[in-house]
Amino acid sequence: MRKHWEDLINITNDIKIYLNLLVPKIEDGDTFGVQVQEECLAELGRAQDSGYNLLDSQFKHHAARAKLASKLVKYPNIEDYQLALKEHDRKASYLIQQHAIDLRNIYTCLTDLLHKNIVKLTKPKGANSEAM
């Protein structure tokens, strides 16, 4: 899953850069297209934050598992450590499934948002003016 989250972070970063380069200069008039761009950029930022948070959760999972495993090695006769490690692994398995669903949902929502607004994203001021 780590590679998929890293890919999400990199893809959203590339799209954010692309959209930022399409933002026209600030002037009076029709700014609806620019508002659409800003909303899409905000959504991309939230998706990127999710990627960073889930990468961090993997580190926390491994650290917690290592702590339980070291306790199990140190105290092999205490059954609670064995049960805790099994339960931790069961929870981790569930979370991986949820992370895969989250990844699918993020990509689905971003794809939908970007496709529905592609005209306003690429030409925020309409067909008569160029983006800077």
- What CATH number corresponds to the domain at position 90? 1.20.120.180
**Cα(42)–Cα(108) distance, integer angstroms:** 16
Indicate whether 88 belongs to any domain.
Answer: yes
Which is nearest to 47 in space by CA: 125, 112, 128?
112
Indicate whether 129 belongs to any domain.
Answer: no
Helix axes 2-22, 79-116, angle to 10 degrees: 30
Q: What is the pTM of this model?
A: 0.76
Is the Cα dihedral 16, 55, 2, 46 positive or negative? negative
- What pLDDT shows up at residue 129? 52
What are the average pLDDT values for consecutive 10-residue runs of the chain, which has 132 residues? 90 93 78 88 94 90 95 93 95 93 95 93 68 45
If one counts the domains in the chain, the total is 1
End-to-end CA distance of the chain: 37
Is the distance from CB of 40 to CB of 19 less than 8 angstroms? yes
Residue 50 lies in domain: 2-22+30-119
Is the distance from CB of 114 to CB of 37 less than 8 angstroms? no
Indicate whether 124 belongs to any domain.
Answer: no
Indicate whether 107 belongs to any domain.
Answer: yes
- What pLDDT shows up at residue 126? 64
- What pLDDT shows up at residue 131? 45
Indicate whether 90 belongs to any domain.
Answer: yes
**Cα(98)–Cα(92) distance, integer angstroms:** 10
**Cα(50)–Cα(47) distance, integer angstroms:** 5
Indicate whether 132 belongs to any domain.
Answer: no
Indicate whether 76 belongs to any domain.
Answer: yes
Indicate whether 125 belongs to any domain.
Answer: no
Is the distance from CB of 24 to CB of 132 less than 8 angstroms? yes
- What pLDDT shows up at residue 27? 72
